[in-house]
Homo-oligomer: A and B are copies of this chain.
């Protein structure tokens, strides 16, 4: 059993390779759009969502990533991992646009609309969303069509107005306004939590079916780490410089966005993240040894430096 650093590197490398294989070739028309889709998606990112998909598949009995050498064709789990990451990348690409967060830097590179242009970045996001669904509507994406439809339904709901896009809308409406903890968490549960939960559930479903107990455990785990991720994002955004972060630091506070640090001190926020970590670890106890990678990801989220 390799340590987490090696496993997460393997998982990131695999996600990168799978995305590179599933994104359209830039030699195929429309070339500029395809090149821009690859620019936005490849070469960076923590790949937390693919990692969660791989770890969830292991938790429900899938082969460990190390024994499961990447073949020439992406597996069902690879497709689940790629689909959630494509939705994530599309949301970042649209989020960075001038009419949203107006950000120039992402993953240490110029954002897509800076490197290309706004219209192209808009279409990149649109086409990445379609591609996410195409990737898991492929015949290789699940063992049965019933499971596949369930995966597609989960992803559509997680991405839409009662999931991620809805969370963005709440975030927009909240800018410059004080939120209480309940409102802030409502926003995060939608904006980032929904897709994190989809990553975990799709990874598990890509391995096979999911009984309702296992599903409940995974949902609770995902909810806790989703919030912990956001708490730590706010802490790191306040404490870390732009170069280390790979995106503009201190921006949320400067834009008058509600963060955990408007409601609590850094020390309290770190303590809260640790509480959420304990909850997440308790939720996956029933998976025993097989839940190791999920546990390690939860710890990584809370203890990471950027």
Instruction: List residues of A whose CB falls within 8 A of some B CB.
Output: 24, 28-30, 32-34, 37, 90-91, 94, 97, 99-100, 117-120, 122-123, 125-127, 129-131, 133-134, 137-139, 144-146, 148-149, 152-153, 155-157, 159-163, 165-166, 168-170, 172-173, 186
Given contacts A156-B131, A169-B30, contact A122 B148 (CB under 8 A): no
Most chain B C-beta atoms within 10 Å of own C-beta, residue among A91, A126, A166: A126
Q: Is the CB of B129 within 8 A of A100?
A: no
Interface of A is mostly: helix
Given contacts A123-B169, A148-B145, contact A30 B134 (CB under 8 A): no
A166 / chain B contacts, CB cutoff of 8 Å: 29-30, 33, 127
A134 / chain B contacts, CB cutoff of 8 Å: 153, 156-157, 160
Q: Nearest Cβ in chain B — how far from A61, in angstroms?
A: 23
The distance in angstroms between the C-alpha atoms of A148 and B133, with both chains bound, is 13
A34 / chain B contacts, CB cutoff of 8 Å: 161
Given contacts A123-B168, A153-B137, A168-B123, contact A161 B99 (CB under 8 A): no
* 5 sampled A-B residue pairs with Cβ under 8 A: A29-B170, A37-B161, A91-B126, A145-B148, A152-B152
Given contacts A126-B165, A137-B156, A153-B137, contact A173 B131 (CB under 8 A): no
A159 / chain B contacts, CB cutoff of 8 Å: 126, 130
Which B-chain residue is minimally distant from A152 (CB atoms)?
B137
Q: Nearest Cβ in chain B — how far from A145, in angstroms?
A: 4
Q: Is the CB of B156 within 8 A of A130?
A: yes
Which B-chain residue is minimally distant from A167 (CB atoms)?
B30
